[in-house]
A and B are shown apart, each in its own frame.
Chain A
């Protein structure tokens, strides 16, 4: 595909296909999944492309199994991904927890549709935001990214793999039905333009290898099964050699390292995009497909004399607090439009210090929030 782009060809892709292409460009060579609307095209694209690249596609018996196979592949040293929607994402939570505990890199795409339960299979929602953060049980670090366009889908897929490999943590990509099925033109970057990070593997001899050693970065080197570094991987809380532990000092050290490694990486993990923010007096904080409506709304509001701006959250978790705080200090009012009852707006309200007003705009009917709806709110807030 990259060769074609060098020939000057432009691709017309839907979000799901671009996501799959991004994953392949990032080096993903294993995909296990289970059919589900509106995510199935990702699996279909992977089934088509992976075998010729020497990779493996497999359709498992359910989403629990898909997530298990993905972790198994990653432990064997292969970059692996799965994709699903709400109901399947619920099933994956068990094994996502295992990936958190064993620090196994993997990427999980959740193309959000209306819920709870079977909900609205063919309509958009942003109802899974908190599930993405806290879906699996126990304290755990996790990275959650949101996509809003076809270009995003490609780029964020690469970003997700890089973060997952670098921090040894599952990365969730939240897409939604609108982003997934919108077709847009897209010129993919050539391979040499794509920066790829591969997990750090041990350089010491096997007898010196400590699989969960606390390093400065908090991310231990990861040996693949079969490479001579025989070690134990367990979902039980473990010591730095990987064996089950009930010693409070070892448990505490492990848990705190999980969080420390992510905190130390905030500068590169927390990604946001700003639009017309320089002199903005009111701002929209949005993500996913709603961020696109918001962009349009900001342009329209500017034409009507409203000094509006947009803070688009690419990283939802770890919550990009310092970026949001800056906007809250700069603007007298902030609008958080969402396709849910207010999941990210709660986070915004959590970090805000009464310096500005936080308004919400919520749609729960499976339809996208329109630029006009956002624009009307902005005008009301401004005057």
Chain B
């Protein structure tokens, strides 16, 4: 296994160029990147045909290390760039990495519209429930009551359910996982990439430095145990009462449907436009 992993790292990381990475020891980002690489490898995708797009934050640095066509965009805007890319290069597999602040605060509008529009791409949201890179301020997914540097008296806002947003906007595929459940994460990312249309994989990740340290989970192990103890598989939720699900993380596939992607729909527009010989609304003109 160790040999296999090293081989994969050599194959998919810019290991000779841009390391050491900037992540703290024990950070969940590495697990997410590992899962992504295993999924891409299992799918047998050509590195030249994969575009990895990220926003700003710790997770945003993933694009620096991975050896694909990589794009590190301004905060919150990754999905908009990815939309332009995918609509112009159909042959690219577009994968977008975002953080929770990235995807739901500054980029929240882009996220719901990308899901609604159903452009064929995969969004992976590394949800560590805090702004890690800037020093531990609260994000839209910080749990109620949690301590952060900007909620020194406890968080009084209620957290967004990222995946529920994507389900409501009718994304083709919506899944949630945690970095503790790495094997499941491999599978979820793989099927998300496989699914046509917009797919969203939310990954609860540990930021023991900025989040855990202020919330009695000052080590990666404690945070992973928290994920392990509070994760509930999707299929098990039907037998549980709503009050039992309070504070739990529902993991697994939350939505999976075959909807035509924006790319397919726009191809129809192109055909229709080509078929019309006379413009329906031509610019006014006269014989000169």
Contacts and interface: CB of A to CB of B under 8 A. Distances in A.
Interface of A: 4, 8-13, 17, 29-30, 32, 45, 48, 51-52, 54, 56, 58, 60-62, 64-78, 80, 94-95, 97-98, 183, 185, 187, 224-228, 230-236, 241, 243-244
B241 interface: no
22 contacts: A30-B84, A32-B83, A32-B84, A64-B80, A65-B77, A68-B73, A68-B80, A69-B80, A72-B84, A72-B85, A73-B87, A73-B88, A75-B71, A95-B74, A224-B89, A226-B92, A230-B69, A231-B69, A232-B63, A232-B70, A233-B71, A234-B64
B47 to A, nearest CB: 6
Contacts of A70: 84
B267 to A, nearest CB: 9
Which one of B48, B80, B82, B87 has the greatest number of beta carbons of chain A within 10 Å? B80
Given A224-B89, A243-B18, 10 more contacts: A11-B283, A12-B283, A56-B266, A65-B109, A68-B84, A68-B110, A75-B84, A76-B89, A226-B91, A230-B47
A244 B64 contact: yes
Given A72-B82, A241-B17, A10 B286 contact: yes
B47 A71 contact: no
B73 A61 contact: no
A374 to B, nearest CB: 31
B17 A243 contact: yes
Contacts of A94: 74, 77
Contacts of B72: 232-236
B279 A12 contact: no
Interface residues of B, number: 50
A29 B266 CA distance: 14
Nearest to B53: A72
A72 B281 contact: no
Which A-B residue pairs are the 5 nearest by beta carbons? A72-B84, A68-B80, A10-B288, A69-B84, A234-B72
Given A10-B285, A230-B68, A225 B84 contact: no
Given A65-B110, A72-B81, A72-B83, A30 B88 contact: yes
Contact of A225 (B92, B272, B283): B92
B77 A64 contact: yes
Contacts of A29: 88
